A and B are shown apart, each in its own frame.
Chain A
């Protein structure tokens, strides 16, 4: 079996295994759906006061994608910490494959489960608040969504590998939840921010993903935004792969893997 085939097999098998685990997890599965709904509800009530139906549609689409960021910021950074508490992190690190191939499927499974949240929020907006999000280009919408989720998985991969070395790294993920919601254009247009904040936002893949999703929903061509989102996602994957090797070396040297 060639190296590429072996890597693909590891990725697919682990993704499926992790998907089965997180899909029934109270924290990553159930709470992952419910928690963003509270924020979406608050946002809908706030935009509802404005009396502008277009603003509600804007919020409906943005709030639906918000949950995918939560799945990465909180769940991905906590994923390896959970393994540490369960005593399986050392086994994961010692597996006869690259750590990147062992960790990326974990965050990919979380990104897949984030689809629950997206669908649930769209349905919540439709049936509870009467927000009808029309999608003019369904194919482009699905492609934009898939690329956004894939790039989020690589960003989550970067967050999760930090936990291998730093046992309080999960708190960084918690901290990033609100800034991500704020900066990625889910509910707030970027032009409300100072220029330096806009530059920062453009370094995050979901900013481009969200823009692509909005373009696809509006019937405009989202391909440029999709390309930038995919490129950023790839960049984060490379960075996380390099970092994972270094952080594992450091964790071994400092004997921090088993520390809870």
Chain B
């Protein structure tokens, strides 16, 4: 009890000594945390950036996921290669987005720096949004490479005019999925097996988001779940653009995807705030 009080007594002193004095100073400080802090954290915590891990896990594995489902589709006599190339390439963005966001917490905990990070007076929104931006960029890159290489391997020819639209769909998909990753990161404050959690979420997205089975071929309840998850609308939008639709025709889908991302991001930030307080109370922040 006395220790807890002593800790809380020291916090205002730290806040007073480090907090920027003006609104402009506070804004600049937040921008630094978002852009500089975000990139440094990403490089430090996402240890899959090692090329010996990144290339097989992020660049080659998604191509094999595409091949797997394209061949299962051929074996079952359903779908066409283009359907699986787009669905799986966009869905694979969830691997970097979910795992990297979970690592923002799990990595800090493993290196025993989580307590230090959470005791700084930095704006939490800036802290976690900053960590999200490189994740979105990486998710986009991984999905686009998968789309390009997977398409080439299977002979799916996407005309140059559709690529900008598809690239935009993938940006929205990555951002939306990173929102889900942020929510997952909050759970990672209390759950130690973050790899299990990320894999389970990846599996749920694989089944429900229409990557391999179109929503109208899924049972109604599964399609409803899928529509409430990230990636679903972006995959549908990307497929329509590949089929010749204009960007304006899929605007509604992209807005829904972006809104889902915002909802998951806000839920993630609120959950982080709540779980952080709970973790302090139960002294579980640095349990390995």
Contacts and interface: CB of A to CB of B under 8 A. Distances in A.
A49 interface: yes
A179 interface: yes
Contacts of B71: 182, 187-188, 192-193
Contacts of B274: none
Main secondary structure on B side of the interface with A? helix
Contacts of B195: 27, 31
A81 B131 CA distance: 27
Contacts of A175: 56-57, 60-61, 64
Nearest to A78: B195
Contact of B56 (A27, A59, A171): A171
A27 B57 contact: no
Contacts of A42: 69, 206-207, 212-213
A39 B199 CA distance: 12
Interface string A78-95: 000000000000000000
B65 A46 contact: no
B202 to A, nearest CB: 8
B203 A34 contact: yes
Interface in A116-165: none
Contacts, number: 101
Contact of B72 (A30, A38, A46, A52): A46
A179 B153 CA distance: 14
A187 B200 contact: no
Interface string B62-75: 00110111011111
A31 B199 CA distance: 8
Interface in A21-73: 26-27, 30-31, 34-35, 37-39, 41-43, 45-47, 49-50, 52, 55, 59
B68 A46 contact: no
B56 A174 contact: yes
B58 to A, nearest CB: 10
Interface string B171-190: 00000000000000000000
B57 A174 contact: yes
B77 interface: yes
Contacts of A16: none
A49 B56 contact: no
Contacts of B213: 42, 45-46, 49
A27 B203 CA distance: 14
Contacts of A172: 56
A46 B56 contact: no
Interface in A168-211: 168, 171-172, 174-175, 177-179, 181-182, 187-189, 192-193
Interface of B: 48, 50, 52-53, 56-57, 60-61, 64-65, 67-69, 71-79, 193, 195-196, 199-200, 202-204, 206-207, 212-213, 217-218
28 contacts: A26-B193, A31-B200, A34-B200, A35-B199, A38-B204, A42-B69, A42-B206, A45-B218, A49-B76, A49-B78, A49-B217, A50-B76, A166-B52, A171-B53, A172-B56, A174-B56, A174-B61, A175-B56, A178-B64, A181-B68, A182-B67, A187-B68, A187-B72, A188-B68, A188-B72, A188-B74, A192-B75, A193-B71
Given A41-B207, A45-B218, A46-B72, 14 more contacts: A26-B196, A34-B203, A35-B200, A38-B207, A42-B69, A42-B213, A46-B73, A49-B217, A168-B52, A171-B57, A174-B56, A175-B56, A177-B61, A187-B68
